[in-house]
Structure 1
Amino acid sequence: MSRRDRESVSFHPTESSAGPEQSDAVDLDGRDQRERRETPTERLDRNWGDLIQELRVVQTGVQFLTGFLLTLPFQQQFGRLDSVDIDIYLTTICASIAATVFLQTPVSVHRALFRRHQRREAVALAHRMAVVGLLLLSVAITGVAALIFDVVVNRVSGVIAAVITVGTVAVLWVVVPLGVRGRPTNTSDI
């Protein structure tokens, strides 16, 4: 790999072009790049593969949720929803459809950038799309919880379900990962 190729795929402007063995750069996961002994291109390929695997897990769920929500207006009981429930439903279905689109965007990014040697751009854009998709999915999940508890029990239960869902998502999707991210890693365990 030429010096120019290594520089063009580097995530870190401070990384030397001599490769990861001679670099002081830190990988996206906070580890010294020398631990993995991978080139910047190999790291990008690994990051891309990791991202695609994560999206495979979440895409099935969001597609199932969206499909379920799309069938609700065709149910007989749907006509009994009040205007607040209709607003919750419409917000939820919009968030679910948007989450589906954002979480599938990395596939179109890959197609558009395929064989153009723009893996760094593909990984960065796909990462942003995945984060937005997860945010929209959290809105959709919250809306589903609110709507179900509102219709089945009452409005107060719907609000409580929404608050609990937001709290649970915030803790499990944000607080816990950031807490783990901040801890020092013992690489001998890996």
Structure 2
Amino acid sequence: MDEPRDAAPAADERDAVPGDGRPETASQRADRNWNELLQEFRVFQTGTQIVAAFLLTLPFQQRFGELPPFDVGVYIVLVLLAVLITLLALAPVALHRILFHRRMKEQLVSYGSRLLIVCLAAASLLFTGIVMFIVDFLLGTGAGFVAAAVVFAVVVVLWIVVPLVIRRRAIRTLRSGAA
């Protein structure tokens, strides 16, 4: 027997966030958010995998044995950081496999989002450290620290300041439009 047309939609069929311009159910929203998150991880992983591969080739270079103890220590920290980032970036995949078909997509999205933020923070340290390592080797420790500070400042501006400014402007625009 058909349901009457004016019956209220089931809880999962309602618009997850009414008025946001995306008429989608909570499940559809979770699926979309999960797919967007996976795409972000794909982009992120490509860059960090290239960096990790670069790091893993260095000990096999002739001049690696000439590195002072400080540079060897920095190198080991960078390798460990690259491995940690790789493991963190793969964690959502493992979690998804374990929670597959358990109707926990919203939890996956929440956990994955937090993991990606941690990955980005760790990657900022990795990229800063790699620049310091290379410039230190080529030009000296002082230049290495200056170059690292510049890279870190660029990361902070691009990954934190700019998004916060954009978000603040959007909130102001919404508030002024609602008034």
TM-score normalised to structure 2 length: 0.85
Number of aligned residue pairs: 165
Aligned twin of 2:14:
19
- Structure 2 partner of 1:126: 112
Instruction: Kindly report which structure 2 residues correspond to 1:133-172, keeping only aligned pairs within 5 A, or say none.
Output: 133-172=119-158
1:9-158 equivalence runs, <5 A:
19-20=14-15, 33-158=19-144
> How big is the alpha-carbon RMSD for the aligned residues of Structure 1 and Structure 2?
2.0
Q: Deviations over 1:3-49 (max 9, x none)?
A: 3xx4xxxxxxxxxxx833xx7x5xxxxxx654111111111111101
Q: Displacement of 1:64 after TM fit?
A: 1.0
Per the TM alignment, residue 180 of structure 1 is displaced from its structure 2 partner at its CA by 1.2
The aligned amino acid for 2:118 is V
Runs (5+) with no aligned partner, structure 1: 7-17, 26-31
2-structure distance, mates of 1:169, 1:33: 34
Q: Which has the larger radius of gyration?
A: 2
Larger fraction in helix: 2
Q: Which amino acid aligns with 2:30?
A: L
Moved more, 146-155 or 32-41: 32-41
- Measured in 2, the distance between the counterparts of 1:58 and 1:111 equals 20
How far off its partner does 1:96 sit? 1.1
Report the Cα distance in structure 2 between the residues aligned to 1:79 and 1:141, rounded to whole angstroms.
Answer: 23
Shift of 1:81: 0.9
Residues 109-134 of structure 1, C-alpha deviation per residue, up to 9 Å, x if partnerless? 11111111100111111111111111
Which stretches of structure 1, 4 residues or longer, exceed 6 Å deviation after superposition?
none
For residues 157 and 106 of structure 1, do their structure 2 counterparts lie closer, same or farther at Cα, with a shift above 3 Å needed?
A: same
Relative to the length of structure 1, the TM-score reads: 0.80
| Consecutive unaligned residues in structure 2, runs of 5 or more | 1-8, 175-179
Provide, for residues 144-172 of structure 1, a one-character-per-residue CA deviation record: whole Å limited to 9, x for no partner. 10000000111111000110111011111
Distance, in Å, in 2 between the alignment partners of 1:123 and 1:135 is 18
- Tell me how far 1:59 sits from its aligned partner: 0.6
Q: 1:2 Cα shift? A: 4.3
Letter in 2 for 1:82: P
Structure 2 letter corresponding to 1:62? T
Structure 1 residues 108-117 or 145-154, which shifts more? 108-117
